[in-house]
């Protein structure tokens, strides 16, 4: 079953932009689409605007209020319609595991969207698109990323990993909210958490230890938010090196001196930035096949998403 992911329709290649064009993203269309079921939305079309249509932008009024107005006629204000549309759309998104939005868009941009003041100047730092602001406010756990930022291999890998993790969370726990199910899920994500945030790893360990004291529905939502907050943090090379060394420790009684040295050298080369993380991981997975360790075989860190996506080649 494909993973449901929302997307700005123009990023998927639909010709819905103000000038009748699109902003198709090749990674999204050629690679990620093989694993997810994209749910395209064009907020402008959603509120009844035409193709082509007048250009719109964000305008900050003297009182600080932000409005979505037409560039050539600022009296034409689409803010209320857009907020209403966003509210209705988000209420149907419970099953989504991610969302790809269009960068710089006054409706869909995730950050640094140009925010104008009446004299035509812009506010430093910009703002967030009206539609995406509602999306992120109502669904703070949801992985959201801009099309342009997906060109960065680190951001791309992090976003895709979060999509697959949230989907795994839903498949594992949406219909099975029991203490044992939460413990099992958390056990599989220990190394993922260790790589992304050692602090969250400790905090969530304490949370899971108290699971029997919680109402299961409340725990479900709390755990989901903490999990997604934790893995949104970029997994540093230092943290991932610590995870690799942790994995290496499970084989200290199985490997020969030469094998230990070979693995240590690969981990050191990764730590120093000379090799991608795939180099030590391939050898670790080889040893895991030779000398099975049930706990490690269940670790999501080893295979967080399909290897065909080639996301770890540049990490």
**Collapsing DSSP states into helix, strand and coil, what is residue 144?**
strand
Q: Could you tell me if 121 and 249 lie in one domain?
A: no
Residue 19 and residue 139 share a domain: yes
95 in the same domain as 217: no
Q: Is the pLDDT of residue 94 over 90?
A: yes
Q: Is 286 found in the same domain as 269?
A: yes
Residues 67 and 89 in one domain: yes
Token pair in block for residue 166 = 């949230």
Look up the domain containing 110 and give its range: 3-150
Q: How many domains does the chain have?
A: 2
Cis status, amide bond into 52, omega within 30 of 0: yes
- Of 116, 150, 184, the position where a domain reaches its end is 150
Alpha-carbon distances, residue 100 vs 66, 121, 134, 160, 281 (angstroms): 23, 29, 14, 11, 29
On whether both 143 and 158 belong to a single domain, the answer is no
Q: Which two tokens stand for residue 224?
A: 């989901």
**pLDDT tens per residue, range 286-302:** 999 999 999 999 999 99
Please indicate, yes or no, whether residues 135 and 171 belong to a single structural domain of this protein. no
For 102: left if phi > 0, alpha if psi spans -120 to 50, otherwise beta; the answer is beta
pLDDT band at 1 (very low <50, low <70, confident <90, very high): low
Q: Which of 150, 165, 193 is the last residue of a domain?
A: 150
Q: Find residue 70's DSSP bridge partners.
A: 56
Same domain, 105 and 32: yes
DSSP letter at 257 equals H
For 42, the token pair is 């064009």
137 shares its domain with 244: no
Q: Which of the listed residues 150, 180, 212 is the one where a domain comes to its end?
A: 150
Q: Do 122 and 57 share a structural domain?
A: yes
Instruction: Report residue 121 as tokens.
Output: 């100047």
Residue-wise pLDDT tens digits, 34-89:
999 999 999 999 999 999 999 999 999 999 999 999 999 999 999 999 999 999 99
The model's pTM = 0.96
Residues 266 and 120 in one domain: no
Give percent of the chain with pLDDT exceeding 70: 100
Q: Quick one: pLDDT at residue 314? A: 82
CA atoms of 211 and 179, how far apart (whole Å): 6
């Amino acid at each position: 079953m494909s993973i449901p992911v929302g997307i700005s329709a123009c990023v998927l290649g639909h010709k819905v932009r103000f000038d009748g064009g699109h902003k198709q993203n090749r990674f999204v269309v050629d690679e990620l689409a093989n694993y997810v079921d994209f749910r395209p939305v064009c907020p402008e079309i959603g509120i009844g605007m035409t193709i082509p249509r007048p250009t719109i932008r964000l305008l900050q009024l003297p009182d600080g209020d932000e409005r979505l107005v037409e560039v050539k006629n600022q009296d034409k204000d689409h803010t209320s319609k857009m907020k209403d549309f966003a509210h209705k759309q988000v209420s149907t998104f419970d099953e989504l595991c991610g969302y790809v939005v269009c960068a710089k868009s006054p409706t869909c941009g995730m950050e640094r969207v140009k925010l104008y003041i009446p004299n035509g100047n812009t506010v430093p730092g910009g703002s967030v698109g009206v539609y995406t602001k509602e999306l992120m406010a109502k669904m703070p756990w949801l992985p959201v990323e801009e099309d342009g930022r997906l060109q960065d291999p680190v951001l791309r890998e992090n976003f895709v990993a979060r999509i697959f993790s949230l989907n795994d969370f839903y498949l594992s726990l949406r219909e099975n909210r029991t203490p044992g199910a939460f413990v099992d899920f958390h056990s599989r994500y220990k190394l993922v958490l260790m790589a992304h945030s050692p602090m969250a790893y400790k905090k969530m360990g304490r949370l899971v230890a108290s699971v029997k004291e919680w109402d299961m529905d409340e725990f479900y939502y709390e755990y989901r938010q903490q999990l997604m907050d934790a893995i949104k943090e970029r997994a540093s090379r230092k943290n991932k090196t610590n995870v690799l060394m942790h994995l290496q420790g499970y084989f200290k009684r199985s490997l020969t001196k030469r094998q230990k040295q070979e693995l240590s050298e690969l981990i050191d080369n990764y730590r120093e930035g000379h090799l991608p993380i795939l180099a030590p991981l391939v050898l670790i997975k080889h040893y895991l096949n030779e000398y099975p360790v049930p706990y490690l075989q269940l670790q999501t860190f080893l295979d967080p998403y399909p290897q065909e996506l080639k996301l770890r080649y540049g990490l």
